[in-house]
Amino acid sequence: MSREIKFSLLYRDMWQSSGKYVPRVDQLLKVAPAIIDMGCFARVETNGGGFEQINLLFGENPNVANRKWTQPFNDVGIQTHMLERALNGIRMTPVPADVRKLMYKVKKKQGTDIARSFCGLNDPRNLEGSIKYAKEGGMISQAALSLTISKVHTVEYFTQLADTLIEMGADEICVKDMAGIGRPAFLGKIVKNIKDRHPNIPIEYHGHSGPGFSMASILEVARAGADYIDVAMEPLSWGTGHADVLAVQGMLKDAGFNVPDINMKAYMEVRRLTQEFIDDFLGYYISPKNRLMNSLLIGSGLPGGMMGSLMADLETNLSSLNNWLKKKGKALLTLDELLIKLFDEVEYIWPMLGYPPLVTPFSQYVKNLALMNVIQLEKGGERWSMIADNIWDMILGKSGKLPGELSPEITRLAHEQCKEFYTGNPQDLYPDNLNVFRDEMKDKGWDFGQDEEELFELAMHPEQYRAYKSGKAKSDFEADLESKREAAKNKCKDAVEKATSQVSVNFEPKTLNIDVNGEKYVVKVTYGESTITATQTTLAPTTEKPSATKENNTVAEVTAPLEGKFFFTRDSSETAIKIGDTIKEGDLIGYIESMKTYNAITSDKAGKIVEICFDNGDSVEEDDVLIKLQ
């Protein structure tokens, strides 16, 4: 009898690998029955990673979303799985052990069966806690190998890592080819070695399609003994996402494997609904480039899950950089030019940083550092002039042991800045602090939620949860969405004016169908009166962000060195600045969260704070005035 291979649908990761956001809970509940009716999925990825932060950014309760979204699959026996980042839980920065323990208990009660745990550095010490806490919480522990290609990441390296994780108690192994750069033969050898040594341990393969290896890789790992294959489906398969279930099923069936049949009527319904969600609002956050295959990713090794947000970040940074270049009378860059410079810089600095596997959060750290280097070099500056605190933690060993050695240049830079390297267990640096958040909830009269899930949410995502509770998150999101809709509407008008300028005024069609970056508009045109009316519906006008006051003779200004969200503190151990404080040059005034890292902002002047120009969590642009001193 032919060997059975089962499929897992990456419905959350499909979205995250394509753009910035995932559907709202009402949309998820709308598509769930059709996913079930497809009849081919043994598993569905329902939550984890950045999913809950995105709920909070919508102004949507992630705990309610998780319970409602997992329930339909629980009811019919389809297993649900989440993605979590070991020491970092489901955020970008390390999490105290008591918060990590609570996470598994909450997620199991919410209906999540499997915890896929990965450490971005493949440090077994970080994964040991995940394996233990997941099993204590009643979940299946699936430990992941974060795949990458380097001189230190060999078949033997990953085989031994799997041995270690299984000895620690992992129930399953995930071969997590997050960038899709794992060569098929290489992946097959790893899977075969694990199966030969541990024949009863299920193996799940997760790979992105961007670089172009994915279909060959899937066939190779299937022949080597993989039990589950992660898949996507149109309109979000391929590109920076994952292989489509139709292609994978056809390929494996032809190769002689026992694979499930697919209800095509249901497939088309899921496809239709997914496109409906894109048309509703999610398409505004999906770069058209993310729908393309890109073999340039082979060199940089950047993961598909990060590419969704990368292009949006890159456009923002390009605009800021080009504004600077324009002021200096220099040639402007195109997005493609900046992208190639970024890829080249990632390849250059990655070995210098000790070959951290390029998976969240370390892919963001390497990419962010590379981008900062590129921007500084374009401005005539030097490399390494801005290294975020999170990135230093990775370099210094506070996030785990790097697979390779740091370059002498990086080590020297650390010593010059009086940084201390750490070789102990990373978890020891982040003591239990759940009671701090418990006290905050009591003080504010907030409901702890079913199974203390609201307490968990505050402890895991403090700033985002507070913004959600205040309503600021939702209003900021709605303002951002409106600005994108307005920009699309203006592009539509420009396209219409360009098209109609070449048409004789005697020819008066009733309507024009316009497609702008995938957004479809039906436009009525009246010649001679210059009337253009698009049917695209928009929200209320966005409230303008307060502008910074220009520096005068009596006050000094401290400005933002980059764009992002401005926070007074990074955690509960720090004290926020306030009006009346006297600060010295070099004192910390806050952080700018940009591209998922916190960049410490220090004052380049001394004086007494007379004005704080932005509220905690506000978006700031490069050169915006943050505080004023006297």
Q: Report pLDDT digits (tens) over 232-254.
A: 999 999 988 999 999 999 999 99
User: Can you give the pTM of this predicted structure?
Assistant: 0.78
Question: pLDDT at residue 570 above 90?
Answer: no
Question: pLDDT at residue 307 above 80?
Answer: no
Question: pLDDT at residue 536 above 50?
Answer: no
Q: Report pLDDT digits (tens) over 17-45.
A: 888 788 999 999 999 999 999 999 999 99
- What amino acid occupies position 141? S
Question: pLDDT at residue 310 above 80?
Answer: no
Question: Could you tell me the pLDDT band of residue 501, with boundaries at 50, 70 and 90?
Answer: low
Question: pLDDT at residue 444 above 50?
Answer: yes
The mean of the pLDDT values for the chain is 87
CA distance 409 to 383: 11
Q: Considering the domain delimited by 556-629, tell me its CATH architecture.
A: Beta Barrel (2.40)
Q: Which residue has the higher pLDDT, 245 or 622?
A: 245
The DSSP letter of residue 288 is: G
Q: Report pLDDT digits (tens) over 479-491.
A: 989 998 998 888 7
Q: What is the per-residue pLDDT for 165?
A: 98
Asked if residue 5 lies in contact with residue 229, where contact means CB atoms within 8 angstroms, the answer is yes
Asked if residue 284 lies in contact with residue 484, where contact means CB atoms within 8 angstroms, the answer is yes
Q: What is the per-residue pLDDT for 287?
A: 81
Question: pLDDT at residue 511 above 80?
Answer: no
CA distance 159 to 379: 45
Which residue in the block uniquely carries the two structure tokens 């949309």?
A: 27
The DSSP letter of residue 19 is: B
Q: Report pLDDT digits (tens) over 398-415.
A: 999 999 999 999 999 999
- What amino acid occupies position 490? N
Q: What is the per-residue pLDDT for 129?
A: 96
Question: Could you tell me the pLDDT band of residue 388, with boundaries at 50, 70 and 90?
Answer: confident
Question: pLDDT at residue 98 above 90?
Answer: yes
Q: What is the per-residue pLDDT for 522?
A: 60
Evaluated on CA atoms 58, 61, 63, 65, the torsion sign reads negative
- % of residues, the chain, pLDDT over 70: 87
Question: Could you tell me the pLDDT band of residue 107, with boundaries at 50, 70 and 90?
Answer: very high
Q: What is the per-residue pLDDT for 392?
A: 93
Question: Could you tell me the pLDDT band of residue 537, with boundaries at 50, 70 and 90?
Answer: very low
The mean pLDDT of 304-313, rounded to a whole number, is 60
Q: Considering the domain delimited by 6-283, tell me its CATH architecture.
A: Alpha-Beta Barrel (3.20)
Asked if residue 266 lies in contact with residue 38, where contact means CB atoms within 8 angstroms, the answer is yes
The mean pLDDT of 295-319, rounded to a whole number, is 67
Q: Report pLDDT digits (tens) over 1-12.
A: 589 999 999 999
SS (H, E, C) 445-506: CCCCCHHHHHHHHHHHCHHHHHHHHHCHHHHHHHHHHHHHHHHHHHHHHHHHHHHHCCCCCC
Question: Could you tell me the pLDDT band of residue 312, with boundaries at 50, 70 and 90?
Answer: low
Structural domain spans, the chain? 6-283, 297-429, 434-470, 473-534, 556-629
Cα 82–chain centre separation: 14
Question: Could you tell me the pLDDT band of residue 540, with boundaries at 50, 70 and 90?
Answer: very low
Which residue in the block uniquely carries the two structure tokens 């005035």?
A: 625
Question: pLDDT at residue 421 above 90?
Answer: yes
The DSSP letter of residue 232 is: B
Evaluated on CA atoms 169, 174, 175, 178, the torsion sign reads negative
Q: What is the per-residue pLDDT for 526?
A: 54
**Phi/psi at 263 (5° precision):** -75, 105
Question: pLDDT at residue 374 above 50?
Answer: yes
The mean pLDDT of 295-313, rounded to a whole number, is 63
Q: Which residue has the higher pLDDT, 104 or 508?
A: 104
Compute CA distances 129 → 62, 139, 165, 394, whole Å. 24, 13, 11, 19
Question: pLDDT at residue 504 above 60?
Answer: no
Which residue in the block uniquely carries the two structure tokens 């790992």?
A: 221
- Count of H-run helices and E-run strands, the chain: 21, 19
Question: pLDDT at residue 520 above 70?
Answer: no
Question: pLDDT at residue 530 above 60?
Answer: no
